[in-house]
Amino acid sequence: MKINSFLFSTAFLLIGFTGKSQETKKQQDQKAIKSMCGCYEVQFNFTETFSYAKDTANYKPSKTKHDSGLEWVELIENQENKIVLQHLLIVGATEKDIVKHWRQDWLYENTELYSFFKDKTWKYKKFAPNDVKGQWTQKVYQVDDSPRYEGTASWVFVDGKSYWNNTTDAPLPRREHTKRDDYNVLKRRNIHEITSYGWLHEQDNDKIVRDDKGKDFLLAQEKGVDVYTKVDDSKCKAAQDYWKNNQLIWQKVRAKWDKVFANDKDVTLQKSVNNKPLYSFLFDLKPEASQKEIDAIIDSFIAK
C-alpha cells in the first residue's frame, strides 16, 4: 500500500512537472514570436548560388540583390494560440510613404494549412494533432492578404540560440515574378532567428519548374539573408500612424479571407481582373470601404 501510494504521488508530481515544462516552452515560443515586433532597419540580401539549367549557354541567373529599408512590425492579434504580425514598409526620401507589406500569422498546434502547388493554386492539407504537437504554423500572406506560403515546425532554444526552421513551397518572390518566367515554384527553407540586435530571416531556396502532375525540375538555388536591426520605435511613427488610420479596412479584408479559407478547399486565384492585380484594387479603397465592397473584389479573383 505504501509502495502504491509512493508510486501514485511520484506519477502525480511527474505529470505536474511535465505540464509546467510544456507551458514554459510555449511561453518561450510566444516571447520569441512577439519579439519580432517593433521598428527595424532591414537589409535584404539575395544571391543565386548554383544553376542546374539544361541550356547553360542561354541561362541568365538573377543578379545579386542588396536592398535596405525601414520597417515597422505591428502586433495586431495576441491570443493564447494565435499571434499576428503585420509588416509595414516605410519608403521615400522623407520616409513618410507607407507600403502595407507582408503579414505573418503564428498558430499553435494548427492542423490545417494551405500548401502552394503552382500557378496561383494552393492545396488544402490537414494534419493529425500528434503530427503538430508543440509546433507553430507560420502562415505568410501577400500585401493584399491573399495566401503566400505556410509551414509548421517547433521553435528551438539551444546553446543560447532561439530559432524556427521550416521548408515549404511558395510562389515566386516579388523581386522576381515580373522578371522571371522560367520557373514557377520557390521551395523555401526559412530560418527565423532571434538575435541580440533584433532578428534574422535566413533562406536557402530552390527555384523549381513543376509540371501539372507535380513533377519537379531543380533549375537553380539561391541564398537569402534579411537582417532586422532594432531601432527606436519613434523612427517608425509614420507607419504607426498609417496603421491607426487604415487598420479597420484591412480587418475587413482579413475577415473575407478567413471565410474563404474556412471552406477547407483548394484555392486558385486569377492573376488579374480587368488587367489589374488584386492589391491594386484594395490599395485604391478608401478607409470607409464597406465589407460588401471588399468581399466583391476578392470574390472576383477567386477561380470558380
Q: Where are the domains of the chain?
A: 35-235
Q: Which pLDDT band holds residue 95 (cuts at 50, 70, 90)? A: low
**pLDDT over 70 percentage in the chain:** 91
Sign of CA dihedral 34, 35, 36, 41: positive
Lowest mean pLDDT among 78-82, 103-107, 152-156, 172-176: 172-176
Distance of CA 49 to the CA centre of its chain: 24
Is the pLDDT reported for residue 15 higher than 50? no
Grid cell in block for residue 301: 479573383
CA–CA dist 94, 232 (Å, integer): 17
Grid cell in block for residue 9: 504521488
Is the pLDDT reported for residue 10 higher than 50? no
Grid cell 532594432 — which residue? Answer: 230
88 within 8 A of 242, measured Cβ to Cβ: yes
Give how far Cα 238 sits from Cα of 104, 245, 288, Å.
21, 11, 20
Q: What is the mean pLDDT of residues 95-112?
A: 93
Is the pLDDT reported for residue 295 higher than 70? yes
Task: Write the single-letter amino acid at 97.
Answer: D
Is the pLDDT reported for residue 215 higher than 80? yes
Grid cell 477561380 — which residue? Answer: 303
Give how far Cα 237 sits from Cα of 89, 176, 211, 269, Å.
12, 30, 46, 35
Q: Which pLDDT band holds residue 287 (cuts at 50, 70, 90)? A: confident
Give pLDDT, residue 178. 86
Give pLDDT, residue 157. 97
**What is the reported pTM?**
0.91
Is the pLDDT reported for residue 278 higher than 50? yes
Give pLDDT, residue 5. 52
Give pLDDT, residue 304. 80
- CATH 3.30.1490 is held by the domain 35-235: no
pLDDT tens string 24-57: 999 999 999 999 999 999 999 999 999 999 999 9
Is the pLDDT reported for residue 299 higher than 70? yes
Q: Which pLDDT band holds residue 11 (cuts at 50, 70, 90)? A: very low
Grid cell in block for residue 294: 471588399
How much is the mean pLDDT over the chain? 93
Give pLDDT, residue 8. 47
pLDDT tens string 123-145: 999 999 999 999 999 999 999 99
Q: What is the mean pLDDT of residues 66-74?
A: 96
Nearest 5°: the CA angle 254, 173, 230 is 75
DSSP H or E segment with residue 78: strand 65-78
CA–CA dist 139, 154 (Å, integer): 14
Radius of gyration of the chain (CA): 22
Give pLDDT, residue 12. 46
Q: What is the mean pLDDT of residues 10-17?
A: 46
Task: Write the single-letter amino acid at 17.
Answer: F
Task: Write the single-letter amino acid at 265.
Answer: K
Give pLDDT, residue 13. 45
CA–CA dist 85, 81 (Å, integer): 14
269 within 8 A of 116, measured Cβ to Cβ: no
